[in-house]
Amino acid sequence: MIKLLAYLRGKTARWSFFFRTLALALAAFGCYTSMYAFRKAFTAGTFDGGEVWGVDYKVWLVIAQVAGYMLSKFYGIRFIAELGDRHRGAKIVLLVGLSWAALLGFALVPAPLNMGFLFLNGLPLGMIWGLVFSYLEGRRTTELLGAVMSVSLVFASGLVKTIARVLMEILHVSEYWMPFCTGLLFVIPLLACTLLLELLPPPDARDRTLRTVRLPMDSAARKAFLVAYLPGLLLTIFAYLLFTIIRDVRDNFEVEIWADVGVTGNYIYAQIDSLIALAVLMMMGMLIFVKSNLKAFTLIHLMIIAGCIAAGMSTWLFVQGHIGGVAWMSISGLGLYMVYIPYNAIFFERLLATFRHRGNIGFVMYVADAVGYLGSVAVLVIRELGLVHLSWGGFFQQAVLLSSVLGGISVGLSLWYFRQKKSKVTKETQHEPAAWKGQITYSNT
């Protein structure tokens, strides 16, 4: 009887853990997908026929919103790093609510004066990733949770554009009201998913043992972390910068890029992006079975390098005429997100776990994001100043070819650096006094 009760208790605990993990993954996915409706719906419009100071009006809209989003990322370096677990749900709802109010202003104020409202729309939304991911990090299932949340970057982009195009073409909603109306459809899902995140339990004792405790980082801790791993972080941030630019171009001008390859169907965005999201989710989710943090960290690097190769080779084959536009957009998109999503979900999680740091992912992720979106804004401005004379499709092709080479080299060097660093730390730890072993610090070792 005692053995039977112990067996039943174990089975119940496992099922309870499974359902908690599933609920947490779906809540994070739903919350971030809902946020995307407030951020990216406007990109489904073309806003043809207008220029402001010689620059296409839609490009001004993209620059305005990305600039606000970028500034939010810079502020988030400190805000997210020092974030505790108090009032996170209320902060999510408040920030998204402010961005929705800005979309109302965008609809009511005539062009081109309404561009400023997209800047205000992007300003609060840059905080949402850090707030949502703070519920997921430091768990033994963070790979799976982060993968599910991060594929919303792919899935939500196609879904939101498809819904926005349906609102305009079937319900005849104007391009200016379309972003606000798209957001309206996601208000209830956002509230429900945020409430669920708040209700689910934090990491347990086993999570803390396997992945370290995740604590707020003050200025001294942030500086120590950067100094400890500066060469590897510079290589990582450089690769992330390149692919943030590419991903942002694809995301903001996907309609135009597809049109360049002769595809204009409203549902192609959601169809292709959903398949990409599923494939990346499966690849990243498998890492949950890799218990060794160093081995998982190595596999993540290899996955990113494979993504660089897939994106670069498919683009070269398309330019040479060996594959068609749909195949190119599908394979290059898969490669792009094989690079981009790991950095947004599991790269820094396994970095902290490998070196046993107690900090949080939000800090280093927001450093990378701030640099990435600064590069994205710079590229938009440079192109519109006339220094690059290419269509968005042509620009995307050239950017993918260049970034695949430079990014692949950078990630390879990053892998070499971090493995050498881990080997050095292990050797030094073996020579420490017994009383020091197992301590978790922010020092170079």
Domain assignment present for residue 10? The answer is no
Residue 349 lies in a domain: yes
Residue 312 lies inside a defined structural domain of this protein: yes
Rg from Cα positions in the chain: 22
Residue 28 CA to residue 37 CA, distance in Å, equals 15
The per-residue pLDDT for 214 is 67
What does the DSSP 8-state code read for residue 387? Answer: I
DSSP collapsed to 3 states, 397-413: HHHHHHHHHHHHHHHHH
Residue 284 belongs to domain with CATH number: 1.20.1250.20
- Residue whose C-alpha is closest to residue 418's, from 347, 336, 325: 347
Cα–Cα separations (whole angstroms), residue 289 to 126, 143, 144, 295, 299: 31, 9, 10, 11, 12
Amino acid 440: pLDDT: 39
Specify if 12 maps to a domain.
no
pLDDT at 15: 55
pTM given for the model: 0.74
- Count how many domains the chain has: 1
What's the average pLDDT block by block, 10 residues per block, for the chain (445 residues)? 45 67 92 92 78 77 89 88 81 96 94 90 92 85 81 79 88 92 95 94 76 73 87 94 88 77 66 80 81 90 96 94 88 91 82 79 84 85 70 85 95 95 76 42 36
In terms of Cα–Cα distance, which of 345, 205, 288 is closest to 18?
A: 288
Name the E strands within 192-309.
Answer: none
Q: Are 308 and 335 spatial neighbours (Cβ–Cβ below 8 Å)?
A: yes
Joined together, the tokens standing for residue 233 give 């972080």
Report if residue 437 sits inside a domain. Answer: no
129 closest CA partner among 182, 83, 181, 166: 83
Which pLDDT score, from 0 to 100, does residue 270 have?
Answer: 66
Q: Is residue 59 a part of any domain in this protein?
A: yes
Residue 288 included in any domain: yes
Domain that holds residue 324: 17-430
Q: Is residue 87 included in any domain, yes or no?
A: yes
H-assigned helices in 40-87? 57-81
According to the model, what pLDDT value does residue 86 have? 78
